Amino acid sequence: MNIIKQLDDLGITAEMLDDMICDAADDLAANANNDGLREQVNFLLIICGWTADAIVSQAKEEMKMWNDREPPQDDESFADILIEAYLDGDQIEGLDFPEEV
């Protein structure tokens, strides 16, 4: 039996699953945060659908708030992490990433 039909037969509505969705998303985010920068980037790119540019841009804004000063202009190390994690198909099992961006 289809899970949607099962839930529908039980009278479960989308609103009733709101807390479950928030709890699941919180668990995913906590796991990403606990596993370091690479997993945080994986979370933002794969789960949230952010682009590398959006992550770098938001990270710069976060850095301003944390340090109360302008971030360094060189994003090479952060970009290297993004490239290594997402353009190297060996890093994430079962997902193929393009060779070129």
Distance CA 55, CA 79 (A): 10
Distance CA 97, CA 9 (A): 40
Q: 95: part of which helix (H) or strand (E)?
A: none
Which tokens belong to 23? Answer: 């709890």
Question: What residue has token string 């393009």?
Answer: 98
Which is it for the CA torsion 62, 63, 69, 70, positive or negative? negative
- Along the 101 residues of the chain, how does pLDDT read in single tens digits? 699 999 999 999 999 999 999 999 999 999 999 998 889 998 999 999 999 989 988 888 887 776 665 555 555 566 566 666 555 544 444 444 445 43
pTM here? Answer: 0.58
